[in-house]
Amino acid sequence: MKTITFPYAHTNYSLEVPDETAVLVSRVDELASGNNGECGGSSVELHEEDCSDPAERKGCHDGTAIVRSAMEHPIGSPRLRELAVGKPDCVMIISDHTRPVPSRDILPEMIRELREGNPEIQITLLVATGFHRAMRPEELEAKLGSALYTEFRDRIVIHNAHDPASNVKVGQLPSGPDCILDKVAVNASLLIAEGFIEPHFFAGFSGGRKSILPGIADAVTVMGNHCSKFIDHPRCRTGILEGNPMHEDMIAAARMARLAFIVNVVIDEKHRTVAAFAGDFEEAHLKGCAFIESYVQAHPVPADIVITTNGGYPLDQNAYQSPKGMTAAEATVKEGGVIIMLASCSDGTGGEDFYHLIADEPDIETAYQKFLDTPQNETKPDQWCSQIFARIARKYTVIFVADPEQREMIEGLKVRYAASLDEAYRMARALKGEDASLTCIPNGISVVVS
């Protein structure tokens, strides 16, 4: 027997499993345990003096130094300090509380460069909430650190996708819907963004253009882009950019927004910066995606039971985010199999619309068919995550491990509830038999199972 550890909220679950159990992990995660290596796969110990490549300072855990080095060698763009020259103001898009972006590594370096190029530049922080709830003051302070929060407290704007008055049309997406973005960003003399790159369950990879769409887009634009037709599209899947119509819409939106510069990082399982990519939002992002792709590919090992997670906090704090980890299991579970999903859901549903689109229907199949029948211009809020959740739950038995107070909510989503991983594993064995095969995915967000 061997022990597998699964992140859950701010802690872990451990489970003893048969020695032959397959475990699907990314090599990015392995960096945190000291198994540092170059892209070619040879295991070497990396030290600070070895970290000359701005994009691949994987063993150097000084996140600020990694970001600084990347910004000194931007991809497809002048340095940020050059872009700042002559600009009266700059809007810097920052991630919200649902993303483990190490902003304390990134933002001070971006601010430093801006002021090097233009000491008088006025900087505003725009929180890319997308469709998520607004950040609370204590969450902003925890993200930024006390010093930055105190300095920028009066220059932080939280995007509101549901307030038409705060957004403005700038064009039309390739797929048809209006492209409506936050006025603060559209009116900026210089628009830049932080972010991080990881596999994404329908956009291919996070980061880059996603700071604009859905990050600071109006609800009309987000819902048009996140329509049922695209969610059902075979190219709208984890790790796929080419031919992905959602990605193409997002690129177009970022161009219309005039996104001038990004700093995107790659993080390990401890949320430490292990690589950084700075510069043009398309070129730098593509290079970052190519880098991480070599680390996150995992071949399916079909099994009767698959255990997955959302990588712990912050992405497992609500049910809305849970389809991300579930899609990794979907790619390797056998027909009629069991998926065990671990997510604390300490913050509840993550969206009442997400919840009620499933909970208010008599069964999961009815909900799923309604999603498929919904025209692009009638997409409902949060339908995309509900559709993916339903797609998986209709085909497989899903046992969901969440905090006890979330049991009613989890069962409302038409899946089974378990109070612990041990309980869920017993339930799965009872369904599939003691000889059932098992595959474990300790961090379902960190891998591309294909």
Q: Which of 131, 70, 132 is nearest to 97 (CA)?
A: 132
Whether residue 177 is found in the same domain as residue 210: yes
- Told to judge if 271 belongs to the known catalytic residues of this protein, a careful annotator would answer no
Strand partners, 449: 298
Torsion of Cα atoms, 37 then 38 then 44 then 50, to 10°: -120
Q: Is the pLDDT of residue 48 over 70?
A: no
Range of the domain at 58: 48-295
Q: Let me know whether 259 and 357 are in one domain.
A: no
pLDDT, position 242: 97
Q: Are 216 and 93 in contact (CB under 8 A)?
A: yes
Q: Which token pair is 50?
A: 């070895």
CATH code at 337?
Answer: 3.90.226.30
pLDDT at 60 over 60: no
226 shares a domain with 196: yes
- How much is the CA Rg of the chain, to the nearest whole Å? 21
Neighbours of 242 (CB within 10 A): 8
Angle at Cα 367 formed by Cα 346 and Cα 176, nearest 5°?
Answer: 95
Q: Is the model more confident about 181 or about 37?
A: 181
Residues 364, 408 within the same domain: yes
Strands 167-172 and 178-182: antiparallel
Would you say residue 39 has pLDDT above 50? no
- Asked whether residue 40 is domain-assigned, the answer is no
Out of 132, 226, 247, 285, the active site residue is: 132
**pLDDT tens profile 272-322:** 999 999 999 999 999 999 999 989 999 999 999 999 999 999 889 999 999
Of 295, 314, 341, the residue that ends a domain is: 295
Its pTM surpasses 0.75:
yes
Verify that 17 and 67 share a domain, yes or no.
no
**Domain match, 199 and 316 both:** no
Whether 47 shows a pLDDT value over 50: the answer reads: no
CATH number at residue 66: 3.40.50.11440
Dihedral sign (CA 8, 450, 448, 161): negative
Q: pLDDT for 233-243, tens place per residue?
A: 999 999 999 99
Residue with the larger pLDDT of the pair 56 and 72: 72
Looking at 233, 262, 295, which one is the last position of a domain?
295
Question: What 3-state DSSP class applies to 186?
Answer: helix
The pLDDT value given to residue 131 = 87
If you average pLDDT over residues 58-63, what whole number do you get? Answer: 63
Residues 77 and 162 both lie in one domain? yes
Work out the pLDDT band at 79, boundaries 50, 70, 90: very high
Q: How many distinct structural domains can be found in the chain?
A: 2
pLDDT of residue 61: 60
Cα–Cα nearest to 380, from 370, 390, 389: 370
Q: Is the same domain home to 249 and 138?
A: yes
With beta carbons less than 8 A apart as the criterion, state whether 315 and 442 touch: no
Gap between the Cα atoms of 104 and 152, Å rounded: 14
pLDDT of the residue at 291: 93
Helix (H, G, I), strand (E, B) or coil at 236: coil
What does each C-alpha distance from 347 to 65, 319, 321, 392 come to in angstroms? 34, 8, 11, 22
Q: What is the C-alpha separation between 197 and 164, in angstroms, rounded? A: 29
Under the banding of pLDDT at 50, 70 and 90, the label for residue 26 is confident
Could you tell me if 67 and 204 lie in one domain? yes
Taking the C-alpha atoms of residue 72 and residue 220, their distance in angstroms, rounded to an integer, is 38
Indicate whether 287 and 354 sit together in one domain: no
Confirm whether 29 is domain-assigned. no
Comparing 29-33, 92-96, 360-364, 368-372, the range with the smallest average pLDDT is 29-33
Residues 351 and 423 in one domain: yes
Contact 449, 300 (CB under 8 A): yes
Residue 97 pLDDT exceeds 50:
yes
pLDDT given at position 40:
25
* pLDDT at residue 268 in the model: 86
Asked whether the predicted pLDDT for residue 37 surpasses 70, the reply is no
* pLDDT of res. 98: 82
254 is a domain residue: yes
Residue type, 359: A
Q: What is the mean pLDDT of residues 247-254?
A: 98
pLDDT of 63 reads 93
Q: Could you tell me if residue 43 is inside a domain?
A: no
Mean pLDDT of the chain: 92
Tell me, yes or no, whether 130 lies in a domain. Answer: yes
Let me know if residue 380 belongs to a domain.
yes
Query: What pLDDT score does 30 carry?
Result: 53
Residue 133: band (very low, low, confident or very high) from pLDDT cuts 50, 70, 90? confident
Q: Beta-carbon neighbour count of residue 254 at 10 Å?
A: 25
The C-alpha angle with vertex 194 and arms to 193 and 200, in degrees rounded to 5, equals: 105
Q: Give the number of other CB atoms < 10 A from CB of residue 71.
A: 23
DSSP 112: H
Confirm whether 275 is domain-assigned: yes
Among 237, 260, 295, residue at a domain's last position: 295
Q: Residue 194 above 50 pLDDT?
A: yes
Task: Pull the structure tokens for residue 98.
Answer: 């649902």
Reply yes or no on whether 97 is catalytic: no
Residue 244 pLDDT exceeds 70 = yes
Burial class (CB in 10 A: 0-12, 13-18, 19+), 436: middle
CB 239 within 8 A of CB 187: no
Name the amino acid, one letter, at 421. L
Q: Which residues pair with 448 in a beta bridge?
A: 297
What local confidence, expressed as pLDDT, does residue 54 receive? 42
Residues 273 and 337 in one domain: no
**pLDDT-derived band of residue 195, with 50, 70 and 90 as boundaries?**
very high
Give the mean model confidence (pLDDT) for residues 123-146: 94
In a domain, 314, yes or no: yes
pLDDT in tens, 366-411: 999 999 999 999 999 999 999 999 999 999 999 999 999 999 999 9
pLDDT above 70 as % of the chain: 93
Distance from the first to the final alpha carbon of the chain:
27
Q: What percent of the chain has a predicted confidence (pLDDT) above 90?
A: 87
Question: One of 61, 97, 159, 200 is an active-site residue; which one?
Answer: 200
pLDDT of 45 over the 80 cut: no
Q: What is the pLDDT confidence band of residue 270, given thresholds at 50, 70 and 90?
A: confident
